[in-house]
Amino acid sequence: MSTGSILRIEALGKGFAAPRGRVEVLHGVDLTVAAGEFLSILGPSGAGKSTLLRLVAGLEAPDTGRIVLAGTTVADAARRLNLPPDRRGLGMVFQSGGVWPHMSVRDNVSFPLVARARALGLRHAEIAAKTDEALRLVSMAALAGRRAGELSGGEKQRVALARAVVAAPRIVLLDEPLASLDANLREQMRGLLRDLQDRLGLTFVQVSHDQVDALSMSHRVAVMAAGRIVQIGRPEDIYRRPASAFVATFVGEGSVVELEGRRLLLRPEDIGFAAAAPTAGEPGWIAGQVISAAYLGARRRLVVGCTLGALTVDVSAGAEVAAGQACALRIAPGMGIALK
């Protein structure tokens, strides 16, 4: 990952007219993305993350602020400048794929090269070669002649991905690219996306509301809420050192408790569990009672009531635990994340 920035967003603001007045979706967002970086913008529905991506793409015009792409200002509200999408040199994968059903897989993928052939000085043979290469990258070469409308959801997303990277764009924008896929396909696509990003060295900016997608693939994660970026950092930092209670509870599981006058976030894995009431005087253990137990396959998730409140605890899937059972919890010293 290079250290030079390829995308700079400054004080970006955007609102939309609504039946009952105007709704401000983005409030002065600042963001810098380094060349070759995989950045995920994570947030709940309505946080403004898709709007942010559409502004970068040129599909919307900002009300305030500016966007600088590879050193060129592509949008500047003060100057009423908003370069159209076709002149920004980007690639994009949409949640629904946006794959054109009336075209073949090959025509879909070669489209960005054909559209930019003159600007890039490409000839037929080069377009064909680059298209073949992109299809091979996503393992879709065998289906190149098939109509895109006949593909499955996962295949469409592969085509969309090949189309997004085929012209070696400045940035590849990913708008919830895995949201419409089932669990197995999601896992496969995560690997494919990371692999492609590594091999091609392109800059990826992904929008997602799924923390696993964001944490597992990204170099950095920007958490958004109510039109603002509330924290940006490495996935580990976001998870272990959340800047606010919102980030702490939105990213990962956990219980917020008051302990020794401080507000702490306890992750399920921070809490020790014993399936029997603690013996009197045993240090570090507190008595509890299982309120609910849910089997999740690889593990069992419990909600345990104790003097600190209701805590979420993970135990092994094989543990025989039932609701109503007495138990003991242990919170090791230094565990828990202090919240402001």
Partner 1 sequence: MQTTESAGFPASRVSRAVRGILGWRSAFLVLLAVPALGPVGVILAQSFDTSGLGEPFRFGVGAWRAVLGAPETLSTFTTSLLLTVRVPAGLAIGFAIAWAVVRLRVPGHQVFEYLCWFAYFLPTVPMVSGWVLLMDRDFGLLNAAVAGLGLPAPFDIRSPGGIVWVHLSLQTVPLLTILMIPALRLLDRTPEDAALVAGARPARVLGRVVLPLVAPAILLAGLASWIKALEAFEVEQLLGERVASFVVSTRIYGMVSSEPPRMAEAMALSMIFLLLLLGLGLLYSRALRWRGQGAANRGEGSGGARPSYGTLLRRSVSVAVGLYLAITILLPFGMLVMGSFMKLFGFFALDQVWTTSNWSRVLGSASFGASLRATLTLGLATALPGALLFGLIAAGMARLRGPQAAAASVLVWLPWAFPGIILGVAILEVSLTFPGMRMLHGTIAPLILGLLIRDLPIGVHVMRNALAETDSTMADAARISGAGWLRTFLRISLPLQMPALTLVFLILFAGAIRDVGTILLVAPPGFQTLSLQTFNYISNSQFEMATVLGTIVALLALAVSVLAHLLGRRLGSVRSAVGTRA
Contacts to partner 1 by CB under 8 A: 17, 19, 57-61, 72-74, 79-92, 94-102, 111-112, 115-116, 119, 160, 163, 167, 173
Q: How far is CA 216 from the centre of its chain?
A: 9
Give min distance, CB of 210 to partner 1, in A: 19
Give min distance, CB of 102 to partner 1, in A: 5
Give min distance, CB of 74 to partner 1, in A: 8
For residue 285, give every residue at least 6 positions away whose Cβ sits within 8 Å of its Cβ, in sequence order, or none: 272, 274, 278, 328, 329, 330
Residues forming beta bridges with residue 97, ordered by sequence position: 94
Give min distance, CB of 54 to partner 1, in A: 8
Distance CA(314)–CA(287), nearest Å, equals 17
Distance CA(234)–CA(226), nearest Å, equals 21
Cβ nearer to partner 1, comparing 176 with 213: 176
Cβ nearer to partner 1, comparing 36 with 91: 91
Cβ nearer to partner 1, comparing 92 with 143: 92
Give min distance, CB of 5 to partner 1, in A: 19
* Residue 277 DSSP label: P
Cβ nearer to partner 1, comparing 117 with 243: 117
Cβ nearer to partner 1, comparing 168 with 243: 168
Distance CA(210)–CA(97), nearest Å, equals 18
For residue 104, give every residue at least 6 positions away whose Cβ sits within 8 Å of its Cβ, in sequence order, or none: 144, 145, 146, 147, 148
Distance CA(249)–CA(261), nearest Å, equals 20
Distance CA(54)–CA(62), nearest Å, equals 10
Output the six-digit token pair for 221.
Answer: 């994660």
Cβ nearer to partner 1, comparing 160 with 229: 160
> Exposure pattern of 100-133 as b/e (b: 16+ CB <10 Å)?
eeebbbbbbbbbbbeebbeeeebeeeebeebbee
Give min distance, CB of 49 to partner 1, in A: 16
Output the six-digit token pair for 121.
Answer: 């000085």
Cβ nearer to partner 1, comparing 101 with 191: 101
Give min distance, CB of 303 to partner 1, in A: 33
The tally of CA atoms less than 13 A away on the side-chain side of residue 156 is: 22
Cβ nearer to partner 1, comparing 59 with 303: 59
- Percent of the chain that is helix, strand, coil (3-state, to 5): 30, 35, 35
Among 57, 52, 54, residue whose Cα is nearest residue 10: 52
Give min distance, CB of 79 to partner 1, in A: 7
* Residue 188 DSSP label: H
Cβ nearer to partner 1, comparing 37 with 60: 60
Give min distance, CB of 33 to partner 1, in A: 17
